Structure 1
Amino acid sequence: MSNVSTRFHVLQELAGAEPLVSVRMVSAAHYAIGADVVEMLAREDVGRSIKAVIEAGIARLPYAPILIEYSAAGSSARRFVLLDEAEAGFSAECATLFRDRMADVSPSKVKVALTGEHGLSVGRHSDLNEAHAVAFAAAIALLMLNVKGIDKELVESTKLNRARVKHGRIPIPSHTLVRIGTIYDRSGHAVSGGMSRHLPVHLRAGHSRMQACGPNHADRKAIYIPPVLVNYREDGVMPAAPKRLVKA
C-alpha cells in the first residue's frame, strides 16, 4: 500500500459542514504535492519558466476544478486551494489545516490574474499568507503541465479505509501524489528518479567557479573544484572520467 500523502480527511472531520470542503473540494481532481516539488518552486529558474508559460498564452489548469494540497517548508500549516478556470486567469478558494487540530475555511473567492508583465497576480486579499498560498498553488498547477520530469502517482487507501469505515471514521480520499519523478542529464537523457531514489554512480567533472572572499565576502576569485565520485559503492562500477575543457 502506498503511503498516505493527504490530510484532506482530517480537514473534512474538522470542517465538513463547510460547502467548500464538503461539496466543491470533494468533487475536484485532488493533487497532494510532494515536498521536493514545493522546494523546486522556490528556484528562480522555475519562476522564470512559469512566467514564460504565461507570456506564451499557454497557462492552463491540468483539470478544472483542481484541488492543490501542500505544506510549505518549515510550516505546520497544510494548505488546500481549489482552483478553477476564470476569465483571464483562475478563481481560487482556500482552506487551511493547522497541526491536524484546527481548520480555517476562507469565506472569499479570489481572482488569480495571468499577465505577461507580472506573471501570477492574486486579487486583493485581507490575509497576505493566504494570498501567497493561492499564488503558490496556481504556480504548482502550471508546473504539472509544463515541467519535464514531474511524476504523478494515484494513491488508493482501500485496505486502510475498510478499517476506518468500520470504526466510523471518514475514509481517506483517493488522491494523486505529485513529486519529482525523473531527472535528466545535460544531454536531455533520463538518468534516474527523484528525491527518494539515487543517481547511478558517476564522476562529476572538475570545474572552476567564482568563490566569495575578502572582507565581508565582497571580492571574488576563481577556484578549481576537483573531480568527485558521486554515489560510489564498493560493489559499484567505476565510470570513465569525462573529458572537459575548463577555462579559468
Structure 2
Amino acid sequence: MSADVIRVEHISKRFGPVTALRDINLYARKGEILGLIGDNGAGKSTLIKILTGFHRPDEGRMLWEGQPVELRSVTHARSLGIETVFQDLAMVNDLPVYLNLHLNKELVHKPFPFLRRKEMQRRAREALDAIGIHIPSVTTEVGNLSGGQRQAIAVARSVTSNAKLLLLDEPLAAMGAKEGGLILRLLTQLKERGDIAMILIAHNYSQVVDVCDRVNLLQHGAITFDKPCKETSVTELLDLVHAEYRFNGVRTASADWRKPDAKTA
C-alpha cells in the first residue's frame, strides 16, 4: 500500500449538548477500499460530512496527502480531489448520460457559448469504457436506465473529476443483487487501478468483507474496530455491532440479524 491519501486524528464534533463524534482516528490509502460500518446514529453521516467539507470538526486535525489541511467548504474539498456518491443521486433524469457526466463542467465553443456535444459524447464514452461501465448509448436519457446503471454513472462522474478520494455513502442501499453486483465490480476495478482511495459505507457486511481491504466500526461516535477484511468475518462484525444489545439483556425480534445479508448499518 502507498502513503495515506487522507488521515484524521482525534476528530470530535458536537451539536449543542450532543456529541456526534469523539476522538475519531481514521485513514485511507491509495488503492484501498475502507469499509465503514455501524448502527444508525453511530456518527457515520457526520464523519462523511466532515470529510467532504460540509461540517468543520470542533477538535482534531486532518492530513491530506501528508499535509495538514482545514476544509473550508465542499467546493474546497472537491478542488483537492474529494468526491462523494450518495444513495440519493444528483442526476437529471431528463438529460442524457453524457450531459449528466458533464454537469457544471460542460464543454463550450469559444467565443460563442455553444455546447461541444460531440466532444462531450466522445469523452463520456471513453470514460465509461475505461472503468467498464456498459451503457449502450451515452445519448440515452438517465431516467431510462436502471438504478445500478445510474449509480455507476454517478461513480464515473466522480472518477472523471480527477478524484483522489471517493466517499460512497450507502450506494448499494435499496438495490437488488444484480444491480449491487454491478457497483461492486466497478469498485473492484477502480481499486485495481490503484490511483484512488475509497471509503464505503454499506449495510451489507458480506459485501464489505468481499470488496473492502479494511473495515472500521463506528460506535457511539468513536472507531472501536479496525481490521483487515481478510482477518475478520461477517459473524465477527455482527457480533461486535450487536454486543451492546446482548449485554443489556435485549434479544433481537428476528434471527435475520445473524444472516450475512442482514442490513445492520
TM-score, normalising length: structure 1: 0.27
Q: Normalized per residue, which structure has more strand? A: 1
Q: Normalized per residue, which structure has more helix? A: 2
Q: Which has the larger radius of gyration?
A: 1
TM-score, normalising length: structure 2: 0.26
Structure with more relative contact order (C-alpha pairs < 8 Å, separation 6 or more): 2
